[in-house]
Amino acid sequence: MIRCLAGTVLSIDDETICLDVSGFGIEVYASGTLLSAAAVGEELHCLAYLHASEAGMTMFGFSDEHERALFLEITQVKTMGGKLSIALLRHLDAAAIVSAITASDSSRLAVPGLGPKRAERICFELGPKIAKKFASLAAPGSGTRAPVSVDGEVIIGLTGLGFSRAEAMRAISACRSEAGGRELGEEELMMSALGKLQRK
């Protein structure tokens, strides 16, 4: 079984990363955190899962073991295939998903392509198991809605202006790198990221 991948990033789009691994261009359906960490021309290491079905082979990529393990749990839910499960991890981080499931708050799992019935099923089927298995990720106050991070708010703003999620995450990552560890507020980060995207 393929457990991890390492190679040079050839291209990035809203859902996938094309990774050059020893001369093979491998298309990886990536989580949101992995997409934000990727940059064309740079080396990338990720955890992976290769899914085989009648439709063919699909590679999924994750930034850490928590994401990979959570993805495998979600795919066990009826009607939740690999691409829909990675879509959930592309829009929400692992901690936010675990918090929503343990709080039985299916509304927090509302992402494009995932309807309310599927979200309710995820909470119903995985609730008890997730609370135990991912205790380190479960927020102490998981019964309340988790606040959206500064990065999350900026991503929402940029995608609302017509930029893709991948473009927004790359711009935010570049802004934070240039800041050199200095804390950026939502407005400053938004303007800085928007400036980068407009110049492109």
Domain definitions of the chain by residue range: 1-63, 66-146, 150-199
In this structure, what are the phi and psi dihedrals at residue 45, rounded to the nearest 5 degrees?
-115, 135
pLDDT, tens only, 72-130: 999 999 889 999 999 999 988 888 899 889 888 888 888 888 888 999 999 999 988 88
Q: How many residues does the chain have?
A: 200
Report which of 91, 101, 93 is spatially closest to residue 67, judged by C-alpha positions: 93
Residue 41: band (very low, low, confident or very high) from pLDDT cuts 50, 70, 90: very high
Question: Which 8-state DSSP code applies to residue 2?
Answer: -
Spell out the CATH class of 1-63. Answer: mainly beta
Q: Is the predicted pLDDT of residue 21 greater than 50, yes or no? A: yes
CATH code for the part of the protein at 66-146: 1.10.150.20
Whole-model pTM?
Answer: 0.70
3 state SS of 38: coil
CATH code for the part of the protein at 150-199: 1.10.8
CA angle at residue 191 from 189 to 197, to 5 degrees? Answer: 100
pLDDT, tens only, 180-192: 878 888 889 899 9
Residues 6+ positions from 77 with CB-CB distance below 8 Å: 118, 121, 122, 125, 126
Please tell me the distance from the alpha carbon of residue 150 to that of residue 128, in angstroms, as a whole number.
Answer: 30
Please tell me the distance from the alpha carbon of residue 100 to that of residue 107, in angstroms, as a whole number.
Answer: 8
